[in-house]
């Protein structure tokens, strides 16, 4: 099958392209940035999803059967540039949906987020719940879900999406508010210390990248008649930040992990659910995670050591 990925240069894209290639698909990767050295794809194109004509032209040219729409500006960065975040995340998603419709793409897989929720949600938070996000990133993810649902009901288009928890992988953090967890591992290994921008009791849903990739690919492959909805919560584990620090300390002897909450980012974290109810995903298409916090840590830390050996970089200022 011919598959196209938008935003392929981000945290998810390289690993997703590799997984799709392993499944025998022909992968077309696109991004507004340069092609990463690690990118595993059959084709690479520069693409700005906020440019409707460019999106439609590329989709007509390459004729993908399935599109994985990853292109987005994440939560922390999004609060610094909300106007651009709306342009990329909201208008970009509309452009991709329109291109799918006009180019007769069979299916669009959409990456949503726990950021669609706001303060005061039930614990754990179900799929159907009031959506009152406090960030532009969250607002645009709600908008993307609603647009996709509209295209499904209006034209019968096969739109499917997952609400990702905060994702952790062997990569450098990319501007998400959940990055405090990843920084514990990356800077814990890199410099032996990290000062988190959250409180030690901060608790949000998290997931290891291999589970996240498997979830969205398995949802794409699920028979449509088994699905009772278009967008699903998926969940793995929801440890307090202090528990993550304790596990990192067990695997990285001598590491110094501390906490100094940043008011802005802490407010975003406090607006998100403590845990997600993913009953619908489990019942409709058999979703179940393979990794808990301990299993993830044992697998992740050696990969981060390898990553840092290959890419020696200076830690971002003010984040450790």
Concatenated DSSP letters for 57-68? HHHHHH--SEEE
Residue 309 has pLDDT above 70, yes or no: yes
Task: Select from 67, 83, 85 the least CA-distant residue to 25.
Answer: 67
* Relative orientation angle of helices 52-62 and 92-102, to the nearest 10 degrees: 40
Q: Cβ contacts of residue 83 below 8 Å, gap of 6+?
A: none
Q: How confident is the model at residue 312 (pLDDT cuts 50, 70, 90)?
A: low
At 63-78, the pLDDT tens digits run 999 999 999 999 989 9
- Minimum mean pLDDT among 107-116, 143-152, 170-179: which range? 170-179
Query: Per the confidence metrics, is the pTM higher than 0.85?
Result: yes
pLDDT band for position 14 (50/70/90)? very high
- Res. 311: pLDDT tops 90: no
Is residue 208 among the annotated active site residues? no
Q: Are both 2-165+207-233 and 168-205+237-271+291-310 of the same fold?
A: no
For the chain, which residues make up each domain, given as ranges? 2-165+207-233, 168-205+237-271+291-310
For residue 228, the number of C-alpha atoms closer than 13 Å in the C-beta half-sphere is 11
Average pLDDT of the segment spanning 137-150 = 98
Pairing of strands 66-69, 107-113: parallel
Q: How far apart are CA 237 and CA 130, in angstroms?
A: 22
CATH value of 168-205+237-271+291-310 in 3.30.70, 3.30.1390, 3.90.25, 3.40.50: 3.90.25
pLDDT band at residue 314 using 50, 70 and 90 as cut-offs: very low
Residue 152 burial by Cβ neighbours in a 10 Å radius (0-12, 13-18, 19+): middle
Three-class secondary structure of residue 73 per DSSP: coil
Write the pLDDT tens digit of every residue in 212-264.
Answer: 999 999 999 999 999 999 999 999 999 999 999 999 999 999 999 999 999 99
- Residue labelled with tokens 């969205």: 216
CA dihedral 265, 266, 267, 268 (to 10 degrees): 50
Residue 320 has pLDDT above 70, yes or no: no
SS3 category, 88: helix
Domain 2-165+207-233 CATH class label: alpha beta
pLDDT band for position 315 (cuts 50, 70, 90) = very low
Mean of the per-residue pLDDT values of the chain: 94
Residue 144 C-beta-side C-alpha neighbours within 13 Å: 35
Q: Is the dihedral of CA 23, 219, 216, 287 positive or negative?
A: negative
Name the percent of the chain lying above pLDDT 70.
97
**pLDDT for 316 beyond 50:** no
Q: What is the pLDDT of residue 38?
A: 84
- List the catalytic residue out of 137, 151, 180, 232: 137
Cis peptide bond prior to 124, omega within 30° of 0 = yes
Calculate Rg over the CA atoms of the chain: 19
Q: Could you tell me the strand order of the sheet in which 43-46 lies?
A: 43-46, 26-31, 2-6, 66-69, 107-113, 158-164, 231-233
Report the range of poorest mean pLDDT among 22-26, 137-141, 173-177, 245-249: 173-177
User: Which of 54, 58, 60, 84 has its CA nearest to residue 72?
Assistant: 84
157-215 pLDDT tens trace: 999 999 999 999 998 877 789 999 999 999 999 999 999 999 999 999 999 999 999 99
Structure confidence at residue 313 (pLDDT): 47
């Amino acid at each position: 099958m011919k598959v196209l990925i938008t935003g392929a240069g981000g945290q998810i894209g390289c690993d997703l392209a590799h997984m799709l290639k392993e499944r025998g698909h022909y992968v077309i990767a696109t991004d507004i940035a340069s092609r990463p050295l690690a990118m595993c794809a059959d084709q690479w194109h520069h693409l700005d999803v906020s440019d409707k004509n460019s999106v439609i032209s590329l989709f007509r040219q390459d004729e993908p059967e399935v599109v994985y729409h990853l292109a987005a500006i994440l939560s922390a960065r999004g609060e610094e540039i909300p106007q651009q975040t709306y342009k990329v995340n909201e208008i970009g998603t509309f452009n991709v949906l329109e291109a799918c419709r006009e180019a007769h793409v069979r299916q669009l897989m959409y990456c949503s987020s726990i950021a669609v929720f706001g303060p005061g949600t039930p614990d754990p938070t179900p799929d159907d719940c009031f959506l009152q996000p406090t960030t532009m990133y969250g607002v645009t993810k709600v908008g993307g879900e609603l647009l996709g649902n509209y295209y499904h009901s209006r034209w019968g288009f096969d739109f499917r999406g997952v609400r990702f928890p905060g994702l952790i992988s062997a990569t450098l953090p990319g501007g998400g508010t959940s990055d405090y967890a990843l920084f514990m591992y990356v800077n814990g290994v890199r410099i032996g210390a990290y000062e988190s921008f959250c409180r030690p009791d901060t608790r949000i849903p998290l997931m290891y990248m291999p589970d996240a990739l498997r979830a969205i690919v398995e949802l794409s492959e699920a028979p449509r008649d088994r699905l009772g909805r278009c967008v699903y919560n998926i969940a793995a584990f929801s440890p307090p930040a202090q528990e993550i620090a304790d596990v990192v300390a067990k695997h990285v002897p001598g590491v110094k992990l501390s906490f100094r909450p940043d008011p802005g980012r802490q407010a975003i974290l406090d607006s998100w659910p403590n845990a997600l109810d993913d009953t619908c995903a489990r019942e409709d298409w058999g979703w179940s995670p393979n990794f808990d916090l301990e299993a993830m840590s044992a697998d992740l830390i050696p990969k981060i050591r390898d990553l840092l050996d290959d890419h020696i970089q200076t830690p971002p200022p003010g984040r450790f």
